[in-house]
Structure formats: structure tokens, C-alpha cells
Amino acid sequence: MSKKYDAIIVGGGHNGLVCAAYLAKAGRRVLVLEKREVLGGAACSEEVYPGFTYSVCSYVVSLLRPQIIRDLQLPKFGLHVLPLESTFSPYPDGRSLMRSADPAATRREIAAFSPRDADVYPMFGKAMGQLARFTKPIIDERAPNPMSWKPRELMQLLKMGKQFRELGDDLGLLQYKLTTMSAVDFLAEWFETDELIAPMSCSGIIGTMLGVKSPGTAYVLLHHYMGEIDGSSRAWGFARGGTGAISMAIARAAQHFGAEIRTNAGVSQIKVRSGAAQGVVLEDGSELDAKIVISGAEPRLTFLKLVGEGELPDEFVTQIKRYKLRGSSGKVNLALDRFPDFASRPGIGMHVRGDISIAPSTDYLERAYDDAKYGDFSTRPFMNIVFPSVLDPDMAPEGKHVMSIFVQYAPYHIKEGPSHWPEKREAFGDAVIDTLSEYCPTLKESILHRQVLTPWDLEQEFGLTEGNIFHGELSLEQLLFQRPASGWAQYKTPIRKLWLCGSGAHPGGGVMGAPGQLAARDILLQGAC
Amino acid sequence: MRTTPFHPRTSELCTSFAWKEWAGYAAVCRYTPHSEAEVFAVRSTAGLLDVTPLYKYDVRGPDAGEFLAYVWTRDIRNIGVGRVVYSAMCDEDGWMLDDGTVARLGPDHFRCTSSEPWLSWFLKHARGFEVQIEETTDSICGLALQGPRARAILKGITDFDMDRMRFFRVRKTMVGGVPAWVQRTGYTGDLGYEVFCANEHALQLYDAICEAGMPHGMVPMGLDALDVARIEAGFVLQGVDYITAKSCLIDGLKSTPDDAGLGWTVDIDREPFVGSAAIASERQRGPVWDLVGLEIDWEALELMYASLGIPPHLAPEACRQSVPVYDEQGVQVGQATSTTWSPTCKRYLALAQVRRPHHHLGTELFMEYTPLFERQKVPVRVVEKPFFDPPRKRSTPGAAPVSVPAPEAEE
């Protein structure tokens, strides 16, 4: 029987779309199936309140691989990334700190807290930049399998080892510390100012159920120094039109290359016969067959729900059940009647043209984690804020604003049980607004609409199991050859003809597109379709 | 960007609107659309330059001299009160971090200037020394008054007898009614002074110097003219002629003091200091590079232009684009890092880092030159620097004839 499609991709998130675009570009007949009406998965933009566009979930972009932008000609299809200009941290006592691309200005800002730290800051940046050069190739290659004796795997391991040696003793040791220490301990080796350490340490905990003082959190700091926009190392960018604009550009590229994309087409089952994927069953009961099925969905959802435990080896099922999802964050999106000034630095200046961290001290962050450890959302959470409308006025009507607030901690496993989240949703939203009002006193009266997304909502609406934004924690034991399960980290699965291309595969979450691209590359290299 | 305390005056005088960033401050490139007049002023009357953005550190305490001798390459312990020295600073591996001046303002009080911030570096190395280190970059402002009339200008407004102030000396005195430190130093290789005072007195100082200077033909001077003057004087610029090791990702970009032509600032025969072991072992192996002066063969250049049917056309200001330098076989042996036509010497000059032994005076080399988008090579020769070194730079008319001080204490 000749099949209409070479590949069916489950989920129209950015990785599924990237994978589809690469396969279509290589001449394969590809179908992407998206459950929601909107493409992009967690990388989507939606007009939730009339006139206001929210980047509903993911709100910044850093690691979208430059080769994907080039290969898929994304700017031609509407991708326009604006650099985020600064990182701003207000403190409850009225002081504030803005770090920007201007080294002299940043130096002065930090010097107001500690002249010594002001000098150290660029040196830290240089060291991290050097480590990032070592780490970055890792996200551009499939994860090598250290248990294998195959020449390809050995060569790749050897190359990594060589790159590590080239770091030299000092940097090699630093890399070792980075992979073992907590974000706060690691930063405290460099800096003396808690007001600086606190906001810097936050990047180590985003999306994890860990605290800034938990070992292993330092590693993710490096991701901040791996970003690149326009060929230069820069931290973060914002896509014009919101994060969904990235997915739409990829989707247009995929369609341009011949991929077919269907929305409102949720997959309820991946059909498996004799250990091989045959196609999918849609929620409406219709069936579609293809040579291979590629899942962009989160691994636990893919294997335990769409495939079914019965089709899988016991050991693999155990691993997937153990795979740490433990969503820890929520999102609040606001439509605002006017700009809510920060008491410590009023006005629409450079400080609000970047991301804003509510992380006044390391103790504050650890207390926020304490709440979460025992099954509550943080009464005073860590927040990372962006004003998309300041960077792209088209996101809101003239003079009005959109505020995107990433909130941690909001543990999926609240003590009442995850299904009780809907009852706590508004209380969680209130905690966010109340905390934020301490920094923006006029915030409450300017709110026109508020969207609160709890981890429960992220799971129900976006298929992010347990609300984990990265399809699984980005902790070291779940990265590289361990993602999502040992022995199955190279996009293949125990089911023949079923592949993975989502953030639950190497190199992980974030709007990188790398899992989608690397999966497509392996699928094509191995002649799977 | 910040503005210096002189900004109310300099911004009014800067009719070209040409500014650039210097260590986070807005600094004037040239006051009028062409910087040529400012270059000529430095060599014939005087130029007045705002040098506030220099990083400044005040180091006090019984061990201040010991400490500074430990972090700088010069043996600063030996300099007397009222003396200033030019020095290099290296990291533990002997790579250049910066160059600058260290002035001894009192028995236990020194002030250093540098092109990069070093507070954390100083604090890291101050362990075991009884010193207090204070960064005064943003509280003390400075003006460089450079040119043959500089002494005459200051004479009228200074309490101290300027005729008696010798080269590389510093004195606390009143200037235009303002308490200030006057240093006979500068970055132009001419007779000149640098005057520092507390920020609150900035405008009074500026006005006093302007009032005294105008009758002498003094003009305000920007960084473009300074760049030409400092190349004529053979002075290297951090970030252009060598790069601070702090910001180099690879060793290949770093320079030792010998590589940067600053080997003479290293007092190696003394107790160990930061980088001394590495410098000593490099010297045993023999340094690889040297920083030399090059003169471009004008006749050859004229012929090159003539072959294209046009007269020679040179950039109106100094060029900081590094260009390859080749030996006779066409092998690249270095790079010219700063190039300028010298209006004073009427020679086309460059500072270049070249592999030894191509550094010897008189060595004939070739430099890449690109007239009309076409890559060519022009003959150059290693020549003595400073290219311009007038006697007035060091002369002290009012001093009793004394024995000539040792040269290493004088530069």
C-alpha cells in the first residue's frame, strides 16, 4: 500500500515545524498535525483580549539556532528578532540595577552597589563566554552515546574531550564547578553583592523544581552566554509579533518547501503494529498512515498516552515514568490601560526595553522555593517580566501595553493535588499582582485584562505534562545522552518508525529549534523516510 | 553616556558635533570639522584636552609604594615625592594589562591613571599590604594642556614657579584659584602638563586656563588631534597597538611588555612582582615581537598613485585599522597598528608590531596599502621613535643646572 505521507509530525510546536521544514526541504511529503487552532505550541502569540497580543507562554528567544534561520530563510518568511537591551532589577528599598550592552553604563550601575563587582562583571562575562564556546557545539550536534564503541560516537566524544582540553586548566576547572555547584555558590565566588547575585542566579532555576542554592543549578547560567543574535553573542531577543511570530515564520517556510499543516487536528493515538509505528488516529476518529511518525510532543505524553505502555519495554516505561517533569512555573499576561511605572525608575526607558527580574535577594528566592517544596505556590515569587508592547508597539493599541510575567514557583504538585489548581488560579494571580505592586504601585488600576496560566493549564491546554515548560527539567542528569532516556537519546525510540523531535529530546527546551533540526538530520541520514 | 564636569564648556565649543565614547564618557573627537588646526596648535601654541575619562586610583598607606611596585612593572618604591613615572602593568603570565602613570603625591599617597578599570585587580593583589585603594575616576577631573606655550599659559595662573617644574614631576598648587595637582606629563610628546582637580572646581579651572591660554593661541583639542600627536611621539595606545590581556580570548592577541615596545618600563632585578617570573623567562627565551616605528617610503607611494593616474591622497586623520607588514619574501612578519601622516615631521609614519629580528633600525619591509580598492605593497623602513622629540619636552629653564637624571626615571 502506498502511503500518502512520508512522515506525520505530531504537534505543531516550533520544533515539529522545524523538523517538518527540513524534511520537506529534502523532498519528503510531510504532514504536521496540531491540536490547537493556533500553531506554535508553547511558542505562540494569541489575541486573547481584543487588540492585545500575548506571547502566551514562551516570551523571549535566545538560542534559536542561526543555521536554522539561514537554512529555512526565516527572515524571508517574517522572522524579525529585536534585541532585548537590558536586564533590570528593582529592589523594595527603592534602589535598582540595570545591566545593559553598554559596558561603561553597566559598570557604573554595579559600582553603586560594589565598585569591586563592577570590575569583576566583565571578567565574569569573558570567562562565561569562553565556556559557552565550548558548550555551544554540544547543542548543535546530536548527543554522543558514551556507552557505544561505534566510530561515529567515539569520534564525537573525542572531539568533545579535545575541546575540553583546549579550555586549559583554569577554564576546565571552572566548567567543572559550573556543572556541580549551585548558582548562588558559583556566583558568590565572583561577586560580593547579593543584589547582583540574586537576579543573575535566577537563570539557573527557570523551569526546574530546584532553588538557587540547589547544587547543579549553576550550569544553566551558561545558557545566558550562549545566545546569539545577528552573529554577535547577545543574551536575549524578542520576536516582532511575539514568540508566535517565530513559529509562524517556520510554518510558512515549511509550507513553502511543501509541508502540509493541519490545525484543530489533535492526535489521540499513535498506531503501532508489531513494534512499528504505522500512523496516527485523530481525535475525530479518522486515521492517517505514514512511513514514519515523529512526535514533537513531550516524551511522557508521547509514550504513555499516545503509544501506550503495552507496546513498550518495561525498563523504558520505568525510565519515562521517572523522567522529571515537575513543572514549577506559571505565566501571567496582562493587558494594561497605561504603562505601570516602576517606583525605583519611572518612565519608559531602556530599563523596560529588556527583561525585568523581581529577585531582590537570594534569601527571597530561596523562600519562594520553600513555599514550593511543600506544595504551595510562592506567596512572593520570582518573576521575569517583559513589556512586548514597548519593543513592538503593534502588540497593543496605541498608548496601551502588554505585560508578560513569568512566575516561579508554581509547583504542579500542590498539596491539594494538581487538579485543584483551577480553584487556586485567581489566588495565584493575586499573589503575583500584589507582589508586583510593591514595585509598580499603579499596576492594579491599569489592568484591563489578566490571563493566569498555572502548570495545570499548561498541561491541559498545551500538552506540557505537569506544566514543565522545557518538556522535562534541564538538569544535567536529563541532558545529552540521557534525554529523555538512556539509550534513546538520538531521536529514535523503542518503537520502530517512531521518532522524537521535541524539547524532550537533546539538546532540550527553549525556542532553539535544535531538536527539530537534529532529528530531521538523523532521519534523513538514516534514510528512515 | 556620561558627560564630564567640563561639558558645559566643551559642548559649547564643539561646533563639529563629533563626539565619541571614552570609558563611558562623551569625549570630543574634534572641535571643528577638521582636526588639522588642533594638531598644529599642539606643536606651535597649545591644545587643551579633557582627560577626565582616564581611570584614576588613589592609593594610600604605609605600604602604598610596595604595593604599587608589586602590581606595576616599574620599581615605584624608589621614586621620590613629587615624581611621576610611566609604567606597564602585567598579569601573572607576563601579558600586558595596561599602561599608565603613577604619581607620588605624598610619602604614603600615590595616584595612578590607566585606560581600563583595575579596582578589583588591585584589591585582589593588595592582600598583605597595608593600603587603602580608592577609585577617583568620577570625582577628580583632568585637563591636558599640551604644546610649546603650555608653560607660559600656566605661569600666569599658578602659584608654583612653572619654570622650575621638571619633566615628570607633580605638584599640588593653586591653578586659577583652584586647588589642583599639576603634572608635567602628557600623551603628545611635547612640552605639556596635566592638571587634575576635584569635580566641583572644574568650570573655574577650565575658565582660568582658557582665559590665560587664548592670548597664546591655545585651542581646545579633541581625541583625533591627540591620536596624531601621540603617534608622532611614538606612544602606544591600549586597545590599538596592543590589547589588554583581560579582554583577549586567545594568547595570540596578547603582548608582553617587550612585544609592545615597553620592555624599558620593566624593572626586573628586584623582588618578584606580578608577572616578573614570566617576563624573566620570556627574556631568557628571547622575546618574539617588538613594537617599532615605520616610515612609509614617500617616493614609492607617489609612484604607486602616479601609476593609477592620481596624486597621493591620505586620510586626514590617524588610522587605527591594522594592516599586514611583510618581509622581502612576502611573508607576513607583523602588522602596522597605527598609521598617520605627520604634519609636524612631514613624514608618513606608522607604529607596528613586528617579529624579531625585523625590528632592527633600518630594516626594509613592506606594508599593505590599498589605493583605489586595490591591494598593493609599499616599502617601509624601521626608523627611530619617537618620530618627534623636541628638546622643550624636557627642558626646565628655571632649574639650577643639575646632572642629567637617569633616562629610565625620566620617561
Task: Determine the Cα–Cα distance for residues B28 and B221; give it in Å rounded to an integer.
Answer: 8
Confidence of residue A1 (pLDDT cuts 50, 70, 90): very low
pLDDT digits (tens, 9 = 90+) for B133-168: 999 999 999 999 999 999 999 999 999 999 999 999
- Look at residue A144 in the predicted model and tell me its pLDDT: 83
Confidence of residue A148 (pLDDT cuts 50, 70, 90): confident
C-alpha cell at A302: 508521547
CB contact under 8 A, B249 and A126: yes
Identify all chain A residues contacting B123, using CB atoms and an 8 Å cutoff.
116
DSSP state, A307? I
Task: Determine the Cα–Cα distance for residues A480 and A508; give it in Å rounded to an integer.
Answer: 8
List the single best residue of B52, B92, B119 to mutate versus A (max A Cβ within 10 A).
B119
CB pairs under 8 A between A and B: 41
The residue in chain B having the minimum alpha-carbon distance to the alpha carbon of residue A107 is: B24
Task: Determine the Cα–Cα distance for residues B360 and A241; give it in Å rounded to an integer.
Answer: 62
Identify all chain A residues contacting B24, using CB atoms and an 8 Å cutoff.
102-105, 107-108
Residue A255 CB contacts under 8 Å (≥ 6 apart), including other chains: A261
Q: Does A444 touch chain B (CB under 8 A)?
A: no
Q: Please count the helices (runs of H) and the strands (runs of E) in chain A.
A: 16, 20
CB contact under 8 A, B120 and A120: yes
Q: What's the gap in Å between the CA of A113 and the closest CA on chain B?
A: 14
B56 backbone dihedrals φ, ψ, rounded to 5°:
-130, 135
Q: Does B25 touch chain A (CB under 8 A)?
A: yes
**What's at B361, amino acid-wise?**
L
Residue B138 CB contacts under 8 Å (≥ 6 apart), including other chains: A108, B199
Beta-carbon count within 10 A of A144 CB: 23
Confidence of residue A143 (pLDDT cuts 50, 70, 90): confident
B380 backbone dihedrals φ, ψ, rounded to 5°:
-135, 160
Beta-carbon count within 10 A of B344 CB: 19
Do you find a cis peptide bond into B391, omega within 30 degrees of 0?
A: no
The residue in chain B having the minimum alpha-carbon distance to the alpha carbon of residue A192 is: B120
Check pLDDT > 90 for residue A166: no
Measured in whole angstroms, how far is the alpha carbon of residue B225 from the centre of its chain?
13
Check pLDDT > 70 for residue A231: no
C-alpha cell at A316: 523504558
Domain ranges of chain B: 7-54+138-221, 56-135, 288-397
Is A191 within 8 Å of A120 (Cβ atoms)? yes
C-alpha cell at A385: 517580566
- Look at residue B26 in the predicted model and tell me its pLDDT: 97
- Closest partner residue to B24 (CB to CB) among A107, A117, A126 is A107
Q: Which residue has the higher pLDDT, A193 or A165?
A: A193
A218-to-A179, B73, B116, B325 alpha-carbon distances in Å: 6, 37, 29, 45
pTM to 2 decimal places: 0.87
- Closest partner residue to A108 (CB to CB) among B24, B119, B249 is B24
Check pLDDT > 90 for residue A475: no
Task: Determine the Cα–Cα distance for residues A229 and A315; give it in Å rounded to an integer.
Answer: 42
Long-range contacts of B19-26 (CB under 8 A, 24+ apart): B20/B223, B21/A104, B22/B53, B22/B223, B23/A104, B23/B53, B23/B54, B23/B55, B23/B115, B23/B137, B24/A102, B24/A103, B24/A104, B24/A105, B24/A107, B24/A108, B24/B53, B25/A104, B25/B1, B25/B52, B25/B53, B26/B1, B26/B2
A155-to-A150, A168, A406, A526, B352 alpha-carbon distances in Å: 9, 21, 41, 18, 43
User: In the CATH scheme, what is the homologous superfamily, with its name and number, of domain B288-397?
Assistant: Aminomethyltransferase beta-barrel domains (2.40.30.110)
- Look at residue B5 in the predicted model and tell me its pLDDT: 98
Beta bridge partners of A334: A403, A450
- Look at residue B361 in the predicted model and tell me its pLDDT: 97
Burial class, B324, CB count within 10 angstroms (exposed 0-12 / middle 13-18 / buried 19+) = middle
CA dihedral B277→B279→B285→B289, nearest 10 degrees, is 160
The residue in chain A having the minimum alpha-carbon distance to the alpha carbon of residue B246 is: A123
Closest to B206 measured CA to CA, from B387, B51, B35, B15: B51
The residue in chain B having the minimum alpha-carbon distance to the alpha carbon of residue A109 is: B24
Q: Does A168 touch chain B (CB under 8 A)?
A: no
Task: Determine the Cα–Cα distance for residues B246 and A86; give it in Å rounded to an integer.
Answer: 23
Helix extents (H) in A45-150:
66-71, 103-111, 115-139
- Closest partner residue to A119 (CB to CB) among B24, B118, B249 is B118
Do you find a cis peptide bond into A507, omega within 30 degrees of 0?
A: yes
CB contact under 8 A, A102 and B117: no
DSSP3 helix / strand / coil % (chain B, rounded to 5): 25, 30, 40
Is A282 within 8 Å of A268 (Cβ atoms)? yes
Per cent of chain A over pLDDT 90 is 78
User: In the CATH scheme, what is the homologous superfamily, with its name and number, of domain B7-54+138-221?
Assistant: Probable tRNA modification gtpase trme; domain 1 (3.30.1360.120)
Task: Region of B286 please: left (phi>0), alpha (psi -120 to 50) or beta.
Answer: left
Task: Determine the Cα–Cα distance for residues A453 and A462; give it in Å rounded to an integer.
Answer: 11
Check pLDDT > 60 for residue A2: no
Average pLDDT in the A264-273 region? 97
CATH code for A5-44+61-82+240-322+474-525? Answer: 3.50.50.60
- Look at residue A74 in the predicted model and tell me its pLDDT: 95
Do you find a cis peptide bond into A50, omega within 30 degrees of 0?
A: no
Q: Domain A325-465 - what CATH class?
A: alpha beta
Q: Which CATH architecture has domain B56-135?
A: 2-Layer Sandwich (3.30)
Is A25 within 8 Å of A202 (Cβ atoms)? no
Q: Does A109 touch chain B (CB under 8 A)?
A: no
Domain ranges of chain A: 5-44+61-82+240-322+474-525, 84-237, 325-465
- Mean pLDDT, chain A, as a whole number? 93
pLDDT lower than 50: segments of chain B: 406-411
pLDDT digits (tens, 9 = 90+) for A366-423: 999 999 999 999 999 999 999 999 999 999 999 999 999 999 999 999 999 999 999 9
DSSP state, B334? E
Identify all chain A residues contacting B135, using CB atoms and an 8 Å cutoff.
115
The residue in chain A having the minimum alpha-carbon distance to the alpha carbon of residue B21 is: A104
Is B47 within 8 Å of B251 (Cβ atoms)? no
Range 117-156 of A in CB contact (< 8 A) with B:
117-120, 122-123, 126, 129-130, 133
Helix extents (H) in B233-350:
276-285, 298-307
DSSP state, B2? B
Confidence of residue A160 (pLDDT cuts 50, 70, 90): confident
Task: Determine the Cα–Cα distance for residues A246 and B184; give it in Å rounded to an integer.
Answer: 60
**Listed range (A222-236, A465-479, B336-350) with the worst mean pLDDT:** A222-236
Identify all chain B residues contacting A102, using CB atoms and an 8 Å cutoff.
1, 24
